[in-house]
Chain A
Amino acid sequence: MIVTRLSLTDFRNYRSVDLDLAPGPNLFVGRNGQGKTNLVESLGYLGTLGSHRVSSEQAMIRQGADAAIIRARVSHEDKELLLEVQLNRTGANRAQVNRHQVKVRELPGYFSTVLFAPEDLALVRGEPSLRRRFLDELLVLRNPRLSAVLSDYDRVLRQRNTLLKSARAAGVRGNDLSTLDVWDERLITLGSELIEARGRLVAELQPRVAEAYVSVAGDDHHAMLASRLSVLAGDPDAESDEQDIRTVMAAEEVMARFRESLDRLRRSELDRGMTLVGPHRDDLVLELNGMPARGYASHGESWSFALALKLASAGVLRAESRVGDPVLVLDDVFAELDESRRGRLGAAVDDFEQVLITAAVFGDVPPALARNTVQIERGTIVDARNPTGDTEPTPVEERMSDVAD
């Protein structure tokens, strides 16, 4: 799918902008702090209801304004959709598809995007929680129901941890805690579902990551993924590889191991007042030529791995999509890469239907991706090489109608 037109009103540093976009690569250039990231962040929001920069939607509303509007016309084959979302300073946000009110959380069902950003390096070098989030976000995009499983799991975890803490405070021992079983049951059911779903996703990502790594890094290094599962661990704090598996465990097996671990660890859980096993303690292990990437891989290698993960996730979404490719967004990525990686990343994304790229330095971007260039200065488009030849400016449309959610 491609975005044919993007309009922003009071979004970040944009008062009002209307922009036609071309199929294939679109490059946004401009000095630092002019609004390049802001522009692509708006599309990221439509696709994921989140931002790679902040968790608060308030920051996306232009300072001094009380609502921001993102409006994108997207097309796939001969079908066109108009997606709109209004972010309000106070009160609920609103969304429309083809001028019909929809729930905001339904928007990602109509538009998919994969964003590459300098922050992605943390996928390789950062904490396990970042890799869990990478997997979980992809899981939810593919299967929206899992968002409910994830939030239920978090809540069971909080309930169970609170119970363990209060039991510790009251000096309750092991089996006297009759309600713990009830929470264990929920924890195991929901947790096993997540473990299994992540496991299947990792298996699908594996060949794609290996292939993408080779194409981005340009060498025959072997990039491998493994799931580190705390339910397989003897000692929950040890980083032993008995926890690492490369195959998908069947649901019954996961549940059995989960139950065993909880039984075995009940004492320590009561001592420490927290849940020591489950998907919230798992990790996605990244290996390069048999060594863990975290702590071993060079800077360039780590970057290649991060890009490979993102390319693989785009590949997974593309393979399942009924509305064409996800729109790729490469925010400031080329500045981080050396010359040869730039060219190879350019080639790897070239066959996606649409790629949006931001760069402060025009020359950082491979020439093949600079066919359609838009110059951005202080929240305005100063020079758009008009890709569609349609020069008529569209008037800023009125606010989205005030219909309750």
Chain B
Amino acid sequence: MILEISRLGKRYDEAQGVGHDALRGVDLSVGSHEFVSLVGTSGCGKSTLLRIVSGLERPSDGFIRLDRRPVGGPTADVAMVFQDPRLMPWLSVRDNVRLALLKLKRDEQDARIDAALAKVGLSAFAAALPRQLSGGTAQRVALARALVRKPSVLLLDEPFSALDSFMRMKLQDHLSGLWQDEKFTVLFVTHDVEEAVILSDRVVVMRGAPGRVDRELPIDLPRPRVRTSAGVQAFSEEIIRALHLS
């Protein structure tokens, strides 16, 4: 077991806006090299959960352990891709990826950046500025920046939600390929139920306010998965039913 979330709660007080409980009593375990998707209606705390796992926010209750060590803040083992690419507009693609490697020597940085850009198919864009990239390409740079550190856990917070369906499918295939090659663990937040079924080993349905884990569905379909296949459709319908029940 690599990632263990236990009795996790998050409360925002009045000083942070409208006071409310975002999460309460969340329990979740994610195994090594497992691909787990979190689905749920808006406001059920999926992104908050991811931010706590990344170390960007602290839980109000409960704890997170990564390989039995408590997570108290950002660590080198956990990388995150956000909903938007969040590239520094003043840095080239190469230097944006370099941001994840500042502690390494320059020649080691360069070697790893070259490899990461090659993996996401962007070697030709190393010198480009973010404003010269399409949305899908920029999100691939963000993916390279997350993976170049060789994290054991990759967190993705609706990374493809702003892309058109064609680019979204392309990047889903791309992510799936990278995950199979690199053997990292994935915690993936999405609103797209089919996307969750196609990519995941397990789909976790969250519900309520404050959010909690309502149901977990292992997706035991062979890979690669086809969006229109009966198996994918059956799992999708089951998840949608679970969401509607909430």
Instruction: Say whether A associates with B.
Output: no
